[in-house]
Chains A and B, each alone.
Chain A
Amino acid sequence: MNTLFDKIWDSHVVSLIPDGPTQLYIDRLYCHEVTSPQAFDGLRARGIKCFRPEKIFCMPDHNTPTHDQDKPIEDPVSKRQVDSLERNAKEFGLSYYGMMDPRNGIIHVVGPERGLSLPGMTIVCGDSHTSTHGAVGAVAFGIGTGEVEMVLASQCILQQKPKSMRISIDGKLGKGVTAKDIALYLMMKLTTSGATGYFVEYAGEAVRNLSMEGRLTLSNLSIEMGARGGFIAPDEVTFEYLKGREFAPKGEEWDKAVEYWKTLKSGDDAVFDKELHFDAADIAPMITYGTNPGMGMPIDGKIPVPPCKALDYMGFTSGQSLIGHKIDYVFLGACTNGRIEDFRAFASLVKGHKKAPGVTAWLVPGSWMVDAQIREEGLDKVLEEAGFEIRQPGCSACLAMNDDKIPAGKYSVSTSNRNFEGRQGPGSRTLLASPLTAAAAAITGEVTDPRKFL
């Protein structure tokens, strides 16, 4: 009771269905090309319009190629899906940021950076990583296509209220330990179903000290612990980040908004259904060895599970250390780690080194805005000198729906969010890690503790 989650959720309840779900009002719906076409089809079949088109923003990201975006997409199936979104947005009167539009990018990178995701909002998208937007102090969660159709039709969705959990990370993070490592550590501790049924509030000194980019990474990965969503109460870091962004309130409206946002925190007497505490000092740079994100360990650890299907798939053995294991690909990007801070971290580590021969590196900014900032800060030069090229924005090799596919049997150190069998391409073997760990692997050609270079 009296948690921030309760405050935001309760203020969006339109009605309670007796013995049923809650009818919840949604402030923002994002649509990408993969999970929306059938929802628009549903509206057409029912002969209805969008109820509140001004609250809905559409952009393609999953299928977009990361090169030659000015040319038509070569894969006809991908092209059809992207074209469908554009046509649907036009037909139903929705904002659309198409490929090559400077506002385009991965939906979960674009929402916060344009100020479309704001504290206190309810935000949904047909995508499990919608939890990302929770970093600004919003209740944000992924939904299915049928639910996308609900929001298109009524700006509401029917949901059971989840339970609440607070995870506090106390103390200070060690050298080379990032928000990604916190998340991989939590998944290792809680498993991929440890937070199922819960909405998580992240708190504690180590979380407060994270930049907005770090908070977005942490919230992004909530779903990988099974949580419905995760969020962080807004504070000065949040306000500083949002101020002046395109859709953030301006002038007097801004002052009024900040005044309200400052009330968005859990009460001192808040009661959570579950509370967990962890010590930041216990967290090391992490890496995964298996085929779900909960199968992670400290980078200098030994694989702690007995022989199993996952280890067979990965070509690893029980008790093995991964340090020094040869890798083939490095992927920096995705809604998890495709923001400016991630590129800064990667560039700072590879500066003055060269990409290892035999490593293919895909560096994919999360949006054109991130791309512009990379160039403004001169990070492109640093990366080029070290032998890296920057590709064009999109989801890319995170789920390999475009042509960025890791070949079967190859090892990829990836800053994305999932290491499922075949996720990065049929037969691909994914090691999830932070941008720093990915950078260390990129210059050495093997799994390497990034702290060696810091």
Chain B
Amino acid sequence: MKQKFDIIESSCIPLPLENVDTDQIIPARFLKAVTRDEKFFGENLFRDWRYNADGSLNKDFVLNDPRYSGEILVAGKNFGSGSSREHAAWAIAGYGFRVVISSYFADIHRNNELNNFVLPVVVSEKFLAELFDSIAKDPATRVRVDVGAKTVTNLATGSCESFPLGEYKQYCLMNALDDIDYLLQQKSKIEEYEKKSK
């Protein structure tokens, strides 16, 4: 959903697993929807981890643990690998996450998050380990993400890092503009390119 980003301060939901692939984020059977209902995808985020095979709630999974809540998902290295399905980003957005923090994101998924107003924040392994540690000690640990300054702060320890974000995407996020809004303004340039490359 298009929304303006500025400063986000929230508690976190920790998912200390590496290589979380998009099949786990949203299983293939939920790709059959033909509309983009974020609520539907959000309800099925991590479906097969959230629910047992018999449909009952898996109480051991972090999203079902009442100690954890917030707009920030903190995940292990190589988050979002596998299939290119944008539905994974819709599910993350639909659940209510605005930020995902990891030490590494799979390329396509990272783009998909950015295009859907979920901010992927890449941090160092050290920062990530410390953050998991803070959350383990105190589930209410808060993190502050400043999109204007491109910094992320673990408010429990005061550790602060800057994260990569191109100025173009930063501008889009802070002004709630998407890429197509931009491209539609470029028609004459595209036609010029087509003539030139014939």
A residues near B (Cβ < 8 Å) are 11, 14-15, 17-21, 23, 25, 34-35, 37-38, 41-42, 46, 48, 51, 62-63, 77-78, 80-81, 84, 126-128, 142-147, 149-150, 153-156, 158-160, 162, 192-193, 196-197, 226, 228, 292, 399-401, 408, 418, 420-423, 426-427
Contacts and interface: CB of A to CB of B under 8 A. Distances in A.
A192 B186 contact: no
A46 B183 contact: no
A34 B31 contact: yes
B78 A193 contact: yes
A399 B53 CA distance: 19
A421 B48 contact: yes
Interface in B79-112: 81-87, 89, 104, 106-108, 111-112
Interface in B184-198: 184, 186-187, 189-190, 193-194, 197
Contacts of A193: 19, 77-78, 81, 104, 106
Contacts of A46: 180, 184
A143 B83 CA distance: 10
Contacts of A126: 84, 86
Nearest to B115: A146
A423 B77 CA distance: 21
B24 to A, nearest CB: 7
B81 A154 contact: no
A221 B185 CA distance: 36
Interface of B: 19, 21, 23-24, 27-29, 31-36, 48, 53, 77-78, 81-87, 89, 104, 106-108, 111-112, 115-116, 166-169, 178-180, 182-184, 186-187, 189-190, 193-194, 197
Contacts of B89: 144
B112 A144 contact: yes
A436 to B, nearest CB: 26
Nearest to B48: A422
Contacts of A418: 23, 82-83
Given A126-B84, A128-B84, A193-B81, A38 B35 contact: yes
A193 B102 CA distance: 14
21 contacts: A15-B186, A19-B166, A38-B35, A80-B34, A81-B34, A128-B83, A144-B86, A144-B115, A145-B36, A146-B179, A146-B180, A147-B115, A154-B190, A155-B190, A192-B78, A292-B19, A292-B81, A400-B28, A420-B21, A420-B23, A426-B48
Given A154-B190, A401-B31, A42 B180 contact: yes
A152 B2 CA distance: 20
Question: Could you tell me the dominant secondary structure of chain A's interface residues?
Answer: loop
A192 B24 CA distance: 16
B190 A150 contact: no
Contacts of A401: 28-29, 31-32
A192 to B, nearest CB: 6
Contacts of B85: 34-35, 144
Contact of A21 (B34, B53, B81, B168): B168
Given A23-B183, A158-B182, 14 more contacts: A11-B197, A25-B194, A35-B31, A46-B184, A51-B187, A62-B31, A146-B178, A146-B180, A147-B111, A159-B111, A162-B107, A401-B31, A421-B23, A426-B48
A23 B84 contact: no
A15 B168 CA distance: 13
Residue from B77, B108, B112, B184 having most chain A Cβ neighbours under 10 A? B108
A246 to B, nearest CB: 22
Contact of B166 (A78, A150, A160): A160
Contact of A20 (B53, B87, B168, B187): B168
Contacts of B86: 35, 38, 126, 144-146
A422 B179 contact: no
B106 A196 contact: yes
Given A46-B180, A156-B190, A160-B166, A226 B81 contact: yes
A128 B106 CA distance: 11
A277 to B, nearest CB: 24
